[in-house]
Structure 1
């Protein structure tokens, strides 16, 4: 009887957790869609920029200076990384730090809904948005003559490590930020240099050797180069995969150690 009661109690707890997670996911989805800046830059902007660049014939032409690629083809992986970067730096830190600041996480800790479920709702949502943005960028590129990634297993590995590294960095910012405003400010301070090394202003193919080598050791630069290589049919280079893995592990461990629920 005791065993049966314990099993039933465990099943009830699991069902309640699943219901709470679904409700939190629905709430976080609505809140995300109501935040025009994050929704626009995380989902719509990469596709719109691909459309603008693709509408310029000169940017669709392949060039020997770009190793047979077009400028539009250079920007496809940059836009894929930009979406993840925006969600990681402009999404996670202010949201989680704001929940802590307002006491939301503390109140959840005193209820049957554990505060860790907030991460279980937020991270899959942001991952889904990143994947949708990637698919839209790929479709927009395909419409303007940019082929789909030719080294698909390597591409998927590089994209998974990109998400892990950048989201871990965003969680680390959320762990140390004392307030939503601080999380937003710190995230913005990291966003712009990471955007620079990703090549959004000056594609990595045009950056000097030293800046390119420095970029290889940043998560955004390593991510773009790894995706670019696999998009062109090559295996990702070890230095880029190692850089992403190190950032994912170190930043993730730091976030887990420093994160406070209240």
Structure 2
């Protein structure tokens, strides 16, 4: 077994030893979808939404929420804690480079977020008759771009945070505004022009809209693709520039 596979397996075991982390990262989103779908008004077509139901709009929002949970909380807090405790420094004296730990964390977070996406899509379809993506390739593209953008932001937080607690605090402060513009409290279709315009230039706003477009059978708009790529390049570049192993 390669070093990357071993570290990924070990990090996954450590993750499942934290019940609160497991709940909020893996279980909270499907439960939230079930709660929202149980509200009769969420399952009624709305002319203000172009004939769609509110639950139809919330499936991609909840999928984006899972990405945000991993990228703003789990990933930066774990890495900042490892750096604070000297784990990364000690790894530099072994044949396994600290970059392998970084790749293991990214692989674990990506795999789990994909798992949440599959579960949410399955619940939405089987329980509430939410349409599956009419453009699967466009959906995958939107998901990958959104994940890259948000994980780049998470790595930037990890590179700047002085400690694990500091990373957690910064991640929490980031989570709520990015989810607001992603449509958690008010779907993008119900936002006024100003809020929707701001949302277009946020990673989750662009990501959610791209997922919704792919569900409807369209490819992501160039604006939203450019926004997600831009966040990936800028945040990823800054994270690479300021990341410290010790």
TM class by shorter chain equals over 0.9
Runs of 4+ in 1 over 6 A off after TM superposition: none
Q: Give the whole-Å Cα distance in 2 for the aligned partners of 1:102 and 1:72.
A: 43
Q: Is residue 2:137 matched to residue 1:175? A: no
* Aligned positions of 1:68-147 closer than 5 A: 68-143=51-126, 144-147=128-131
Which residues of 2 match residues 1-262 of structure 1 at below 5 A?
A: 19-143=2-126, 144-262=128-246
For 1:148-191, what per-residue CA distance to the aligned partner results, in whole angstroms no more than 9, with x for missing partners?
A: 01111111111000110000000000001111011111111111
* 1:158–1:223 CA contact under 8 A, matched in 2: yes
Scaled by the length of structure 1, what TM-score is found?
Answer: 0.91
Question: How far is 1:71 from its partner?
Answer: 0.5
Residue 42 of structure 1, CA deviation:
1.9
Structure 1 residue runs of 5 or longer lacking an equivalent are 1-17
TM-score (norm 2): 0.97
Q: Which residue of 2 aligns with 1:7?
A: none
> Aligned residue pairs: how many?
245
Between 1:54-63 and 1:190-199, the stretch displaced more is: 54-63
1:13 match = none
User: How far is 1:22 from its partner?
Assistant: 2.3
After superposing the two structures, state which structure 1 stretch, 240-249 or 58-67, moved more: 58-67
Contact 1:42–1:82 (CA under 8 A) maintained in structure 2: no
The structure whose Rg is larger is 1
* RMSD of Structure 2 on Structure 1 (CA): 1.1
Q: Distance in 1 between matches of 2:129 and 2:15?
A: 32
